[in-house]
Structure 1
Amino acid sequence: MHYGLTGNPTKSEIWSPVAQLIDWLSSQGLPFSVHTDLVEGLRARGQADAYPLDARDAVALTERADVLLSFGGDGTLLRVAHATGAHDTPVLGVNIGRLGFLADIEVEQLTKAVAAIEAGNYTVEERMVLEITGGPRTELAREWALNEFVIDRSGAAGLIHIEVEVDGVPLNTYWADGLIMATPTGSTAYSLSSGGPIIAPGVDAIILTPIAPHTLTVRPIVLPGTATITARVQDGDQPYVCATDGRSVLLEEHGLTFTVERAAHTVNLVKLPGQHFFKTLRTKLMWGRRPSDGFS
């Protein structure tokens, strides 16, 4: 296996584990390449002198590597996935964040994880991706999201009105702060914090979760993964935000229609023995804990 090392260079905690992994990979004779941002950071810290580093940008790193190792949190893994485009190179998330639903390998487990990959003792999960078309600008001409696509008010007072159809059939006009269209992967992200359901990754579904709806009878709904959703922002006098996996565009044009449906490609995640979505839920959300157990 050829490993591609990438991550979030703004996190001070990544440099020691990255340097240690480089040292270990070199001692094992395993080939690897390193993202240019990490190479520059290692050099600035005097940690890149012992080995010749194959520095590559995001796309070149993906094309070279058999497995990408993403150092950071879930946000870092999302950025890595988008920076490398719609490639199918599997990604292993190394958690240096807080929750870590996507980046679920801790740094202490890293060398054991690579050894398991070398032994072929791993699986690859294909995660559903949403494709978004529409909008007046090239940024939204054709986008995709691993977690969610969000239409949200920009912070100005007042609600926004979003007409939604599913497979050509009217569903609802949402009067709310916004609307989240999420994958099962994204069900534990913004949708969860807005009251949406948790969906296991293997479920073929799209979730619509309103953000602070004006009408209390409006609730999240789970749609088939084959659904085609059209969302139209009604005429109004305030700007609004459209965001794919947290990358936002401020829009002032109203009456725009966005189409959301399953994309042709997937994002592939490396999963190791002992890893399971339910285990992650129990650990990260502290399910099964009693108050007397404490929270440390």
Structure 2
Amino acid sequence: MKIALHGKVFNKEVEPYIKKVLDFLLAADAELRISNLSINSFIDTFPECEKCSSFDKITSSDDVDFLISLGGDGTLLEAVSMVGNAEIPILGINTGRLGFLATTPKEKIEQALTDLLNRNYKIDARTLIKMESNRPIFQDIDFALNEFGILKTDSSSMITVHTYVDGDYLNSYWADGLIVATPTGSTGYSLSCGGPIVLPHSNNFIITPVSAHNLNVRPLIVSDQSEITFKIESRSNKFLVSLDSKSESVDNDVKLTVRKEDFQAKLVTFSYSNYFDTLRQKLNWGLDLRN
């Protein structure tokens, strides 16, 4: 069995859990591959990784069975970009903080890995959002699991985002920016800007303004079959385009469109955890001193 690993921060608190993952997989005779972004950290901390091969991206020809993300949600988002259209199943082990996507806690590592090797799991297929532009911005990683964003630069005034849905004019958002989130991303940046929580398989996108100048402008849910197009105006002639944790500065001449990606992100889930459990735990729903 071939298993890819990706993780970035190995502090003293996290090291024992990473060690537990490595020991378990090596004892199971798994062939390990480690991402180029983390190979040095693995080798410096765990000498048994010196013979492991590395990878930049995973393709279907690599015959990798799973990718295990060791960290928080940001680490898992990077793992999604490494897998791309190969659609290799990703297991997120949360050694970070929030863990909305990396839902397997450190305390259940052995149980999760046992279930993984015994094929006792389910695949949760998540929609990705694809960005198209008239010039290359993010090379070939032009998709995101959480959200696409158009944002003002740090020192600029507000921007105007003229927005069209399937060619029909929707609105001109005078704001600090605009987010188009997937249902998965509805609990991320969109939520912090007042967007709704949308269940993962709702087949929607959420259009959420960032600090809109007009208070009566509200988030809007549209079908994920829609094609959303933007024209941007800014006094500085510059603005930021983001896909999850990636961002680039571009000018007003860039033409941008987003739609549903043709492939999906395949997340590994287990019977002892579900989406509603995650909502209650991570958002502290029902947490009351009176209880």
Q: TM (normalized to structure 2)?
A: 0.91
Give the counterpart letter for 1:41 in structure 2: S
Structure 1 gaps of 5+ residues are none
Measured in 2, the distance between the counterparts of 1:258 and 1:38 equals: 32
The amino acid of 1:20's aligned partner reads K
The one-letter amino acid of 1:155's match is: D
Match of 2:2 in 1: 2
**1:192-224 Cα shifts (integer Å, max 9, x gaps):** 111101111111000000001111110000001
The residue that corresponds to 1:183 in the other structure is: 182
Correspondence for 1:265: 263
Contact between 2:157 and 2:234, CA under 8 Å: does it hold in 1? no
Partner-residue secondary structure (3-state), 1:216: coil
| Aligned equivalents of 2:247, 2:288: Cα separation in 1 | 39
Task: Give the conservation status (yes or no) of the 8 Å contact 2:152–2:176.
Answer: yes
What CA deviation, in whole Å up to 9, does each residue of 1:224-282 have, x standing for no partner?
A: 1101100110263342111111211112x214321110010111100111211110000
Q: Give, in angstroms, the shift of residue 73 of structure 1.
A: 0.6
Q: Deviations over 1:153-197 (max 9, x none)?
A: 002242100100101111100000000001001111110111101
Cα distance in 1, alignment partners of residues 37 and 256 from structure 2 = 35
Cα 1:233–1:194 shift into 2, 3 Å? same
1:58 corresponds to which residue?
56
Q: How does 1:183-222 map to 2 (within 5 A)?
A: 183-222=182-221
- For the pair 1:119 / 2:118, whether they are aligned, the reply is yes
Which consecutive residues of structure 2, in runs of 5 or more, have no partner in the other structure? none
Amino acid at match of 2:242: A
Normalised to the residue count of structure 1, the TM-score between the two structures is: 0.90
Determine the structure 1 residue equivalent to 2:34.
34
Identity between Structure 1 and Structure 2 (%): 32
Q: Deviations over 1:96-118 (max 9, x none)?
A: 11111111111221111111122
Deviation at 1:141, TM superposition (A): 8.0
2:26 maps to amino acid: S
Which amino acid counterpart does residue 116 of structure 2 have in structure 1? I
Q: Quick check: 192-201 or 33-42, which moved more?
A: 33-42
**Superposed, which structure 2 residues align to 1:1-296 within 5 Å?**
1-9=1-9, 13-36=13-36, 38-45=38-45, 47-49=46-48, 53-59=51-57, 63-139=62-138, 143-234=142-233, 236-251=235-250, 253-293=251-291
